[in-house]
Structure 1
Amino acid sequence: MAHRIFHYLLLGMVLLGSSVLQAQENSTYRLSSGDVISINVFGEEDLSFEELRLNDAGIFSFPFLGEIRARGLTASQLEDLLTERLKGDYLISPRVSISVLQYREFFISGEVREPGGYPYQPGLTLRRAIALAGGMTERASTNRITIIRDQSGSSEKGSLDSIVMPGDTITIDQGFF
């Protein structure tokens, strides 16, 4: 009996830890094209959207307000922007919440078995990204990996423990034998 209670307690701690990690990541995560968000304006069904994909410019259309540029904003910043713009002319005291439902893809090419775009998952490492792409080919080099960061456009040398972010482009080069 005690073993079963310990098991459920451990499972609960893992789930709580993963939701805390997700919340922390969402607080610093910058929105961009391809992200899918939900918008909830409390008590205003016509202004709430269960699933909204940001276009190529990171923009979406919102009733009464027109085009809203979300690219580069955190979910919290977007909440503040919508709250401020809805306040006064449209609503007295709007309460807006934004959730990221689906992150944009990351891309992996070069010496992997199945190059292409893959859905981002919070906590993704380069090792796991390579596994999603079917693993490395026999000619792949673990020392010649480049990651181009979507947010900054910077290029960096990657290791198998590097963190992958949404929109990143990863290239696995050939090793010299």
Structure 2
Amino acid sequence: MIESQITTDVNSLNPQVIRNSMPYTINQNGEVNLPIVGLVNVNNKTEQETELMLTKLYSEYYIDPFVNIVITNKFITIYRGGSDAKQLLISRPDLTVLDAIGQAGGIPENARSSKIKILRTVNGEKLTEEIDLSGIEDINKAQAYVMPNDIIYIEPGLNAHFFREISPIITTVSSIVVIYAFFANLNK
């Protein structure tokens, strides 16, 4: 599992403060261990909410601190049936499920657009939501924003490759049955 990283840039109007900008890893509990303030829970917070929270925390140590947050390693994984999986970087904060599927190449011809699952971990609990994109009814669900480490699973349909492989066998068997029936009727 890919963990997100947070890059903090703390500046102050205090001339004795040295600029501190380096990446810190957010653990699976949504916590990041930062200099001076220690372990901070940033789970389910936006970048802006995290900046405000850290500004308040650092204001106890610095005069007028300015905190800038950049979250990196924000990926989602899209399984498009079979062995076709893609990992996408969340390029913007308003990336929707529908946008992500489109960036991954869309819904394959042999996949079931009625069985798309979004798997997400929130506060250690695994959640699954199913979306049916075969009609217009669930289009609002597909407009939900993706979150880092989401998994979008598009259930494969009946494999078209399987039918291509088996069709010559079916043709041969049906031809034999037709020929047998023809000769059986001739002998009557």
Could you say which TM-score interval applies, normalised by the shorter chain?
Answer: 0.5 to 0.7
Contact persistence 2:80–2:108 (CA under 8 A): no
Q: Deviations over 1:131-159 (max 9, x none)?
A: 43344444201111111234474322225
Q: Aligned match of 2:32 in 50, 60, 73?
A: 60
Q: Which has the higher strand share?
A: 2
Residue in 2 aligned with 1:107? 77
Structure 1 position 124 matched with structure 2 position 124 = no
> Which 5+ residue runs of structure 2 have no aligned equivalent?
134-138, 160-188
Which TM-score applies when normalising by structure 1? 0.61
Between the two proteins, what is the percent identity of the paired residues?
20
Question: SS state of the match for residue 81, structure 1?
Answer: helix
Contact persistence 1:112–1:135 (CA under 8 A): no
Contact persistence 2:77–2:150 (CA under 8 A): yes
**Count of matched residue pairs:** 144
The one-letter amino acid paired with 1:108 is I
Q: CA deviation at 1:46?
A: 3.4
Contact persistence 1:130–1:136 (CA under 8 A): yes
RMSD: 3.3
The one-letter amino acid paired with 2:146 is M
What pairs with 1:127-138 in structure 2 (closer than 5 Å)?
127-138=98-109
Where in structure 1 do 4 or more consecutive aligned residues deviate above 4 Å? none
Question: SS state of the match for residue 73, structure 1?
Answer: coil
Q: d(CA) in 1 for partners of 2:102 and 2:82?
A: 9
What pairs with 1:13-52 in structure 2 (closer than 5 Å)?
33-43=3-13, 46=18, 48-49=20-21, 51-52=23-24
Contact persistence 1:42–1:96 (CA under 8 A): yes
Structure 1 position 165 matched with structure 2 position 135 = no
Structure 1 position 175 matched with structure 2 position 157 = yes
Highest CA radius of gyration, 1 or 2? 2
The one-letter amino acid paired with 1:102 is T
> Which 5+ residue runs of structure 1 have no aligned equivalent?
1-32
Question: SS state of the match for residue 130, structure 1?
Answer: helix
Which TM-score applies when normalising by structure 2? 0.58
Q: CA deviation at 1:118?
A: 1.7
